Amino acid sequence: MANISTIYKLSFLAFTYFIQVYGTSCPVLECWFVQEKPGRGGGFPAAMIQEKSLLYINTDPESEQTKSQQGPSADISHDRVYYITDPAAILCSSSLHPPEGSVHKPQCEINPFMPQPSTVQWAVPLTDSAHSPIYLQADWYSAALQGLDGQLALSSVMRAPTATKEPTVVLSVSSRTPLVRSRLGEPVVLDCGFWAETSSPLSGSGFTVEWRYQFRGDGRLVLAYDGKTDRFAETKEKGAGLDFTALHETGNASLILQEAEVRHTGTYICTVYLPYLLAQVAVELEIVEPPSLSIFPSPLPLSVPGQVVKVQCEASGFFPLSLEFYWELTGPDGKVRPLGQGSVTGHRQGPDNTYSQTTRLELDSAKLDLGRGGEVTCVAVHPGGTRRARVTLNVIGVNGPSIEDSMAMVAVALGLYGLIKIVSWTFSSGSDDTNSQEKKVK
Ligand SMILES: *[C@@H]1O[C@H](CO)[C@@H](O)[C@H](O)[C@H]1NC(C)=O
C-alpha cells in the first residue's frame, strides 16, 4: 500500500511539474454547438442553430475535478456546458489551448451525432448483427477541432448517458499534419491516427480505415482497409500504403505515398469506422517544386555599343503554375540594375504535369545603359524557392578602349591574323597540289 501511495505522490508531483513547465493542463475549450433546426425539411434548406458552448476537459473518468472549475460566463447557456472525459488527452493538446490573450483561436464545433450501421462496403462487416446494442441509447456528440498554426486536426465521437452533458470520448481521429507540402519524387506521409476507448463495447470488434482523395469536385477511393477481416478493398491507386504493424499496435493510420507526383495534389480524408461510429479528418497535400533555370546562349557573344544581344531564360519542371521572372545586370562596380521581366511566353505543361515557361530579353545598349556589361542574371520567383541563372555580358569599345578592351581587340586582331594566315596557307598549298597534278598530267 505504501508503495502505491508513493507512486501516486510521485505521479502527482510529475503531473504538477508537467503543468508548470509545459502549461498543458486542460483548460476549458470554447466551442460552437451547431445543430440542424428541427421541424423543417420538406425541400427547405436546413437551418442551423449555432450557440456558444464550453467544454471542460478531464482526462480521468474517476475525477470530479472539472466540475469544481469556475462556471460559464453570462452569454453561454447552462445547457451548452459539457464536462468531457477524454482518457487519451487529445483534447488537452497544447495547440488547442492558445496562450492567454492570443488573437488566434483554435476552431471547435460540437454537434449531436447519430450512431448508425455503416453502409460503406468495407465497413459493413463491422455491424453484422442486426441488433443495435443498448449502449447506443445515449446522447452522442461529435466534435471537430482545428488547432493553432495548422498543428492539429481532430474529430471525436463522444457518448453521454442520456441528459447528463457528461460525455466520454469513445473514438478520436486526429492528424498532426493537416497541411503537408512535398517536393516531387519524395516519399510522403499523411499523418492520421485513431484512438478508441477500450472499455467501450464498440471497440475490440474491429475497425476500418478509409482514405479518400478529393480535388476540385473529383473524388476517388485511395485505400480502404478492413481491420476486422484484415482485407483491402480493390483500388486503382498505385504506390499508396499503410504501415499495418503500426496501425494495429498504435492506431497509426498514416497514408504513405511512395513518390510524390503532381497528380497527388489535393485533399485526403482519413475516416476511421468503429461499429456504428465514424470520425474523420482532412489532410491537405500540396506539391511544390521550384523551377530549374537555363540561360541561352551561354556564353553570350561579345557585343559592341549599338548592337542588340538577345538572351533567353527557361524555367522548367515547376509546380504549381505561379512564377515571376525578372532580369538584373550586375556591373563591374557591383551595382545591380533591374532590367525588367523581359517578354514572358505562355506556359507549357510536360508529361509529368509540371510547367515550363521562358522569358526573352533584348539587351540593346542604345536603349539601356549597359555600360561595359557585367553579369546578366535571370531570376525566377516561385513558392518553392527563388532560382537564379547568370551569364556574362561583355560590351567592348565603351568610353575609349580600356585595358580589357584593348586586350580583347588584340585577341580579335591576332585571331583574324591567324585566320588569314590559315586561309592563305590552305589556298597556296591547294594551288601547289593542282600544279603538281598538272605536272603529272603533262
Ligand atoms: C505513423 O507512421 C508514419 C509512417 O510510418 C510515421 O512517419 C509517423 O511518425 C507515425 N506516427 C506516430 C504518431 O508514430
Closest ligand 1 atom, CA of 193?
Answer: 13
| Cell numbers describing residue 202 | 464498440
Closest ligand 1 atom, CA of 243?
Answer: 5
Same domain, 257 and 340: no
Same domain, 283 and 363: no
Give the count of alpha carbons within 13 A of 327, CB side only.
Answer: 27
Instruction: Dump pLDDT digits (tens) for 74-100.
Output: 678 888 899 999 999 999 988 898 887
Confirm whether 426 is domain-assigned.
no
Please list every protein residue whose CB sits less than 6 Å from any atom of ligand 1: 189, 193, 243, 246, 252, 254, 256
Closest ligand 1 atom, CA of 252?
Answer: 1
Of 207, 245, 204, 198, the C-alpha closest to 225 is 207
CA 247 – ligand 1 centroid, Å: 9
Same domain, 250 and 367: no
CA 195 – ligand 1 centroid, Å: 14
| Nearest Cα residue to atom 13 of ligand 1 | 252
Instruction: Dump pLDDT digits (tens) for 363-411.
Output: 887 777 777 888 999 999 999 999 999 999 888 876 655 555 556 666 7
| Choice from 90, 186, 189, 242 to test ligand 1 binding pocket (greatest atom count within 8 A of CB) | 189
Per-residue model confidence (pLDDT) at position 395: 82
Cα(298)–Cα(343) distance, rounded to whole angstroms? 19
Per-residue model confidence (pLDDT) at position 403: 56
Cα(136)–Cα(117) distance, rounded to whole angstroms? 11
Three-class secondary structure of residue 425 per DSSP: helix
Per-residue model confidence (pLDDT) at position 429: 54
Confirm whether 305 is domain-assigned.
yes
Per-residue model confidence (pLDDT) at position 16: 38
Cα(375)–Cα(393) distance, rounded to whole angstroms? 6
Cα(266)–Cα(279) distance, rounded to whole angstroms? 20
Boundary residue ending a domain (379, 394, 409) = 394
Please report, for residues 26, 96, 339, 340, the alpha-carbon distance to residue 89 in angstroms, rounded to integers and kept in the order given: 8, 11, 58, 56
Mean pLDDT to the nearest integer, 279-292: 96
CA 201 – ligand 1 centroid, Å: 27
Domain holding 201: CATH number? Answer: 2.60.40.10
Position with higher pLDDT, 415 vs 186: 186
Confidence of residue 185 (pLDDT cuts 50, 70, 90): very high
Give the total number of structural domains in the chain. Answer: 2
| Nearest Cα residue to atom 5 of ligand 1 | 243
Confirm whether 4 is domain-assigned.
no
Same domain, 55 and 189: yes
Per-residue model confidence (pLDDT) at position 149: 84
CA 415 – ligand 1 centroid, Å: 66
| Choice from 151, 152, 243 to test ligand 1 binding pocket (greatest atom count within 8 A of CB) | 243
| Choice from 182, 188, 244, 254 to test ligand 1 binding pocket (greatest atom count within 8 A of CB) | 254
Instruction: Dump pLDDT digits (tens) for 17-47.
Output: 343 333 345 778 999 999 987 765 555 666 8
Confirm whether 251 is domain-assigned.
yes
Same domain, 270 and 307: no
Confidence of residue 6 (pLDDT cuts 50, 70, 90): very low
Cβ neighbors of 139 (< 8 A, separation 6 or more) are 112, 159, 160, 161, 162, 163, 164, 165, 167
Residues in the chain: 442
Per-residue model confidence (pLDDT) at position 71: 54
Confirm whether 419 is domain-assigned.
no
Is the per-residue pLDDT at 214 higher than 80?
Answer: yes
Instruction: Dump pLDDT digits (tens) for 53-75.
Output: 999 998 887 665 545 455 556 67
| Choice from 151, 176, 180, 191 to test ligand 1 binding pocket (greatest atom count within 8 A of CB) | 191
Mean pLDDT to the nearest integer, 340-369: 89
Is the per-residue pLDDT at 5 higher than 60?
Answer: no
Mean per-residue pLDDT of the chain: 82
CA 40 – ligand 1 centroid, Å: 45
| Nearest Cα residue to atom 12 of ligand 1 | 252
| Nearest Cα residue to atom 10 of ligand 1 | 252
Same domain, 339 and 205: no
User: What pairing do the DSSP bridges indicate for beta strands 48-58 and 81-85?
Assistant: parallel
CA 199 – ligand 1 centroid, Å: 25
Per-residue model confidence (pLDDT) at position 4: 43
CA 287 – ligand 1 centroid, Å: 20
CA 240 – ligand 1 centroid, Å: 15
Say what percent of the chain tops pLDDT 90.
Answer: 47
| Nearest Cα residue to atom 9 of ligand 1 | 191
Mean pLDDT to the nearest integer, 169-173: 96
Range of the domain at 189: 19-127+135-287
Confirm whether 161 is domain-assigned.
yes
CA 208 – ligand 1 centroid, Å: 18
| Nearest Cα residue to atom 7 of ligand 1 | 189
CA 281 – ligand 1 centroid, Å: 16
Per-residue model confidence (pLDDT) at position 7: 43
| Nearest Cα residue to atom 1 of ligand 1 | 252
Lowest-pLDDT range, 52-66, 75-89, 173-187, 341-355?
Answer: 52-66
Same domain, 374 and 308: yes
Position with higher pLDDT, 260 vs 304: 260
Confirm whether 29 is domain-assigned.
yes
Same domain, 373 and 240: no
Same domain, 219 and 351: no
User: Using an 8 Å Cβ cutoff, are 378 and 392 in contact?
Assistant: no
Same domain, 298 and 275: no
Same domain, 173 and 100: yes
For every residue of 365-406, DSSP letters joined together read TTTS--TTEEEEEEEEEETTEEEEEEEEEEB-SSSS--HHHH
Mean pLDDT to the nearest integer, 328-338: 89
Cβ neighbors of 147 (< 8 A, separation 6 or more) are 93, 95, 96, 106, 153, 154
Is the per-residue pLDDT at 439 higher than 50?
Answer: no
Per-residue model confidence (pLDDT) at position 424: 73
Please report, for residues 49, 68, 103, 337, 429, the alpha-carbon distance to residue 74 in angstroms, rounded to integers and kept in the order given: 19, 17, 21, 63, 110
Same domain, 143 and 240: yes
Lowest-pLDDT range, 2-16, 40-54, 317-331, 416-430?
Answer: 2-16
Confirm whether 431 is domain-assigned.
no
CA 164 – ligand 1 centroid, Å: 37
Is the per-residue pLDDT at 117 higher than 70?
Answer: yes
Boundary residue ending a domain (270, 287, 304) = 287
Mean pLDDT to the nearest integer, 173-180: 96
Per-residue model confidence (pLDDT) at position 236: 81
Boundary residue ending a domain (367, 394, 421) = 394
Closest ligand 1 atom, CA of 256?
Answer: 4
Per-residue model confidence (pLDDT) at position 204: 76
Please report, for residues 44, 115, 280, 338, the alpha-carbon distance to residue 36 in angstroms, rounded to integers and kept in the order given: 12, 16, 20, 59
CA 285 – ligand 1 centroid, Å: 17
| Nearest Cα residue to atom 14 of ligand 1 | 252
Is the per-residue pLDDT at 434 higher than 50?
Answer: no
